[in-house]
Amino acid sequence: MPKFFLTFCTCLMFALLLSCTSSGVQSSRFEIKEGNFYLDEQPIQLICGEMHYPRIPKEYWRDRMKRAKAMGINTVSAYVFWNYHERQPGVFDFKGQADIKRFIQIAQEEGLFVILRPGPYVCAEWDFGGYPWWLLKEEGMVYRSNDERFLQACQNYIQRLGEELSDLTVSNGGPILMVQVENEYGSYGADKVYLGKLRDMIKEAGFNVPLMTCDGAGQMEAGRVGGTLSTVNGAVGEDIFKSVDRFHPGGPYFVAEFYPAWFDVWGTPHSYRDYKKPAEQLEWMVKNNVSVSIYMFHGGTNFDYTNGANTAYGYAPQPTSYDYDAPLGEYGNMYPKYWAFREVLQQHLYKDEQLPEVPGPNPVIEIEELTLSESASLSAAFMETVEAEKPLCMEEINQDFGYIHYETILNEKTKGTLTIKDVRDYAVVLLNGKQIGSLDRRHRQSSMEIDVSEVPAKLEIIVENVGRVNYGADILNNRKGITEKVSINGTELLGWKCTSLPLYKAHVGSFNYQNDNIKGQPAFHRTTFMLDSIGDTFLDMSSWGKGAAWINGRSIGKFWNIGPQQTLYVPGPWLKKGQNELVIFAFEDTGARTVKGLKEPILDQLGIDKNKREKSTMDYSLKPVLESGDVVLKAEMTNEQGWQEFQFDSPVTMRHLALEVLSTNDGKPAGVCELDVIDKDGNVLTKDTWKVVYASSEVEDKGFAEYIIDGNLGTQWKAGANDQDPCVIVDLGEITSVSGIRLRHSYYEQSGRLKAFQLYGRPQFFLLKD
C-alpha cells in the first residue's frame, strides 16, 4: 500500500499560507477521494493529537502546541464543551479560558491543522459528557435523541458555535480540516434521524468542510450517517482495514482515537501503559498510510470541578488530574512515550526533514510549608436559601457544579437509621454542628446510624457533586444532591432549607476570615504567602482528606486523600511575584492546616478509603429459617454471560428476599455477580435503600455479600469454600410488589457460577437461629 503524507516543510508552507488567509488572501481545499485525504490536491496523512482547551491554562496553549509540533503532530483534535460555553440557557461565553477561537488560531500560527469535535455530546470524562446542566431541569427530556426540545437546544448551541468558528475552516482560510458529528453514538443508539439532523445543523452553521463520525469497530454501523466519513476508534493493525473497508473500501483509514493510555478513577491506582507497544502500533499506522489521532496527546487538568464519572462497574468518578499517562503529562512534561513517538515519526514520516527542537521545560518551583491559620465557616458561603417541604436537588435551585447544603430541625428524640435515598454523590452529615458520618455513592451507601438525644436538634447534610455521568444510559439520570427523600427509621423528614454552594467561583477569598481554627466540620482555611519567582508547582494535599482549593481566586480543583492523585497542579502563570492567596475548603476535616508546593506531582498514591468496608460484619454462626411456603421461584441459570431474567407466576409482595444456592456449574464455591429485582410494572428497582442483612459466608475483600447488589459488574458475592448451604438475604428497604428478578454471572470468574437456586420472599424478616 502506498504511503502518502505532507512533509514537515510542506505542512509549514500550508501553515504560512493559512496564516495569510485570515485576511482573505488564500483558502485551501480539503477533500476525501481515491481512498486518501487531499489538501489542495496533495495527499496528506493526518497525525493528530487530542488536546482540550479548558484543561490547559490559556497561558500555556501555545507552549503545548509547540510541543505537539516538535513530537511530529500536524493536526490538533479538539472537543468543544457545550456546558463550558452555555452555562445558562442562551448566555454564551467565548472569552478567556473559553476562547476556543483563539485556541484554534494559535494552532494555525504554530503550523497545525485542526479537527473540530463539537458533539454536542463529547464524553471525554467530562461532566455530563459536555451537556449543560440545565437540560436536566426539563422533565422527560431524552438526550441524544430525536426529542424536539433537546434538538432545539442543540440547534441554538451549534448555530452560535458556527458564528464563532465557521470562518476558521480551511475553505475559509483557517486550519479546520474536518468537523465531527456527535461522538461514538453507535455505543449508545442507532437513531439515523437524530444523527441526520445534527449533521444538517453543522452544515447550516457554516462548517463547509468534510464531516465525520467516530465509533468503536463493532459500533460503526449504528453510529454512521450519510454524508459523513466513518472512522474507527481503538482499532490497531489489520483490524483498522477490516473495520473501515466495510463502509469505504480502500480508505481513507483514520483511527480517530488511538489509546496509548487511559484515564484515572478516584480510589484506584494511576493508569499507566508502557510506551513500547503503543510506539509499535503507531509505527505500523504511519508505515501503512493510516491517519491517526492520539487520545490523549496531552490530558491536562479538570479545573472548576469539570470531571465526569462512569457507572458501568459502579459509580466511578474521575479525579482533578487528567494526566492520562499521555505522551505529554499534566503540566507539559514529556514522558518516555513522548520521546518514543517522536522517534517513530521522525524516522518514518519526517525522515527527510528535521522535526523542530523540543522546547525546554517550563519553570517549576517549590513552596515552603505554609500554615493556613485563618478560617471561615461554611455559612460564609451561603447566599440564597430556598425553603421546601422536601429536599431540592441542585438543578431545581439552578446549580451546576459544587456542593449543596440541606438543613432541618428534629423535634423528637430518636435513635436508628438515617436514610438519604439516592444521594448524589458524597454526603457529609452533621448533627448540632458536629460531623457524625458520611455516605459515598461509590460504595452504594445511603444510610447510617443516628442518635438524637437532645432536641431541638439541627440536622445538616452537605452533598457534593463528585461528577455527572458522561457515558452510557445513565446520562439520563444525572441530577445531583438529594434526589429523592430523607427518613429516619422509615419516617420521612420534611421541612428543609436548601442552599446552593457552587464554590468553584472566585468569591471564596472575600469571606470574613478569623484566626479561629474551626474543627470537625466543613470550613474554609486561608493563608497568604510571598514569592520571589513563579513557576508551576504541586500542592501536596495528602493529609487534608477531602475538599477543594483556590489560588489567587482561581479554582485548581478538588482533592481526595483516597488517591491516586495527592497533589493539585498550580500553573505558574496563575501565581504572582509578591503576595499570593491560597484558600482550602476542608469538606471533611482531618485537622491538617499546613501544605507545601512540590516540584513534581504525586499521581499514583492511594490513601485510606474510610468509607470502604474492609472486614465482614456478618455472623456466620447464625442460620436463616427458610420455609417452603415462602418459596417464590425455583430455577436454573445457564453458564452464559449477560443478564438472565426470571419471572414469577404472579407478583409477590415482599421486603426481604433470600437467595439460596442449590448447585453451581462445576461444584465449586458459589459466586453471583449481581441481583436485580423487577417490580410489578416491569421496572428494575433502585437499590439505594437495600441492605444485605445476612450471608452464610463470604470471601472478605474479594467477595463480600454486599457486592451482589453494588451495581458493579466487576465484583461478585463469593461464598466460602466450606459453605454447604450458601444463602444471602437482602432487605429491599420497603414492602413492594415484585414480579421477578435478574441475575448475572461475573465477567472474570468462570468457576462456581450459580446454577440451580431457590428464591424466598417475605414482607417480614427471616428469622435467624444458632
Angstrom distance (rounded) from CA 356 to CA 325:
23
Instruction: Show the cell assigned to 749.
Output: 470468574
List, in order, residues 6 or more apart from 629 with CB less than 8 Å away.
none
Rounded-to-5 percentages of helix, strand, coil across the chain? 20, 35, 45
Q: What is the DSSP letter of 514?
A: B
SS3 readout for 271-326: CCCCCHHHHHHHHHHHHCCCEEEECCCECCECHHHCECEECEEECEECCCECCCCC
109 labelled catalytic = no
Residue reference for cell 455559612? 379
C-beta separation of 232 from 254 below 8 A? yes
What is the dihedral sign for C-alpha 610, 615, 620, 623? Answer: positive
Q: State the greatest distance between any 2 C-alpha atoms of the chain, in Å, as a whole number.
A: 89
State the Cα–Cα distance between residues 658 and 663, nearest whole angstrom: 15
Residue-wise burial string across 172-208, b where 16 or more C-beta atoms lie within 10 A, e elsewhere: bbbbbbbbbbbbbbbbbbeebebbbbbbebbbebbbe
Choose the catalytic residue: 110, 184, 484, 706: 184
Q: How far apart are CA 89 and CA 608, in angstroms?
A: 41
- Cα–Cα distance, 629 to 616 (Å, whole number): 31
CA distance 191 to 453: 57
The rounded distance, in Å, linking the Cα atoms of 448 and 489 is: 11
Q: Which is the catalytic residue, given 86, 182, 257, 464?
A: 257
- Reduced to 3 states (helix: H, G, I; strand: E, B; else coil), residue 136 is helix
Based on the residue annotation, tell me whether 184 is a catalytic residue of this protein: yes
Catalytic sites, residue numbers = 184, 257
